[in-house]
Amino acid sequence: MHFPSYSSFRNYTSCLLFYQKPSSSNPDFSNLPGARVPKTTLSKRTRLLEITPKNAQDAFEHCLQLVKSRDRENYQSSLVMPQACRAEILALLAFNIEVALIREKISSQRGSDIAGMYRLQFWRDAIKSIYGDSVSPVPRQPIAIALCSFAPQASLSLLESLIIARQQTMGDRPFRAVDDVAKYGVATAGALIRLEGEALARGCLLGKPCEAFVDAAHEMGAAYSIMNLIRSFLPLLAKGIILLPADLLELHNLTPDRVYKRKDSAAVTNLVRDMTQASFSDQLILQHGWWYRKIYVLRFTQVALVHIQASRKLSSLVPRPLRSCLAASGSVVDTIVNSVKKVDYNIYDPILQKSHPFLIWSLLLKKILGRY
């Protein structure tokens, strides 16, 4: 197999990392899907948002800066995706960040749960106005404008999934079980990967993404959610928030208070070890018999690795252009798993917050090799 030289690889990276200010060709603000020339008189009730090229350019810039500052991993992932799809993907990523940050924005307010639910409902109403049958006007908000301008064909159900999952977990209560963490990942990270995949599929004229891609996205989302919960433990702990699964807390005779006060570090270490142990459903055990039961009992394989390996086993069935959507999450999961093992499952170690030092190189290599 012939690999590109270092110089060509470096030049390619430089081109990707060089950001040009949005212009009429990057992206094309003069030919926006869903944008129209403003009318001289507007009807009182209309769900169509009047978007000028200047509105779209400002919205794009807002999304770009939000993703770049708040989700560096997905920002770098967007750099290796086709330029024609990049504006739509950035709009989708910015929307995900916006709804994810609601908890952080209202955490210091009294009655924050209610305030958070109202804000999430605002976004649910907004996307129904953009994509659904609602007659309510589309809000003049940068991300809403970006969705109208660059993502007019995005899936309403997947966008709603990003909101509903946050509504169901509002209140900073621990997850009931590890499986609930995985389901949350399917509804959030998995849905976001699918949205990106649909954008790439349209850009590459592939039609609707295949079932293999959907399954791979769900497995990757589950793996990402489990490991991201471990990575975010220490920053959340500083705010007095414990989201570790309640079933494992009970199993190890722990309470959120004991975890917060670090009264039993050994038990917490064992809990983290259990979180990364193999977790197979009873259905799988019944279907596949003693072999799965043995792995379940002996816990050879880590939960996140079980999910990510299941995702990667489908790679040959996933169209090559869509594999880029899964690459960033895969690299992040690998990084956190390696860090957890390095610190012997000590969830209090700040090394877990370190990001992949060469993520852009990893993503470029995976794109060249067609892997994730």
Tens digits of pLDDT across the chain (372 residues): 444 443 443 443 343 333 334 443 355 444 444 443 333 333 444 445 678 888 899 999 999 999 999 999 999 999 999 988 999 999 999 999 999 998 877 765 655 678 888 899 999 999 998 987 787 888 889 999 999 999 999 999 999 999 999 998 887 788 888 889 899 999 999 999 999 999 999 988 888 899 999 999 999 999 999 889 889 888 888 888 888 888 777 777 777 787 887 877 887 887 777 676 544 444 444 444 434 333 332 333 367 788 999 999 999 999 999 999 999 999 999 998 888 888 888 888 889 888 888 999 999 999 999 999
Domain-wise residue ranges, the chain = 51-167, 172-371
What is the pLDDT at residue 299? 39
CA–CA distance, 143 with 264 (Å, rounded to integer): 44
CA–CA distance, 322 with 211 (Å, rounded to integer): 12
CA–CA distance, 336 with 328 (Å, rounded to integer): 12
Residues 6+ apart with CB under 8 A from 27: 60, 83, 84, 86, 87, 150
Q: Are 185 and 144 in contact (CB under 8 A)?
A: no
What is the pLDDT at residue 112? 66
Helix (H) or strand (E) holding 102: helix 102-106
Residue 315 is classified by DSSP as G
Per the confidence metrics, is the pTM higher than 0.95? no
CA 351, chain centre distance (Å): 22
CA–CA distance, 308 with 224 (Å, rounded to integer): 8
CA–CA distance, 159 with 194 (Å, rounded to integer): 10
What is the pLDDT at residue 35? 42
Residues 6+ apart with CB under 8 A from 149: 32, 33, 34, 35, 51, 55, 56, 59, 60, 87, 91
What is the pLDDT at residue 168? 87
CATH architecture, domain defined by 172-371? Orthogonal Bundle (1.10)
CA-nearest of 198, 152, 149, 142 to 28 is 149
What is the pLDDT at residue 292? 39
> Within a 10 A sphere around the Cβ of 320, how many other Cβ atoms?
13
Q: Are 217 and 326 in contact (CB under 8 A)?
A: yes
**Tokens coding 240:** 């007095």
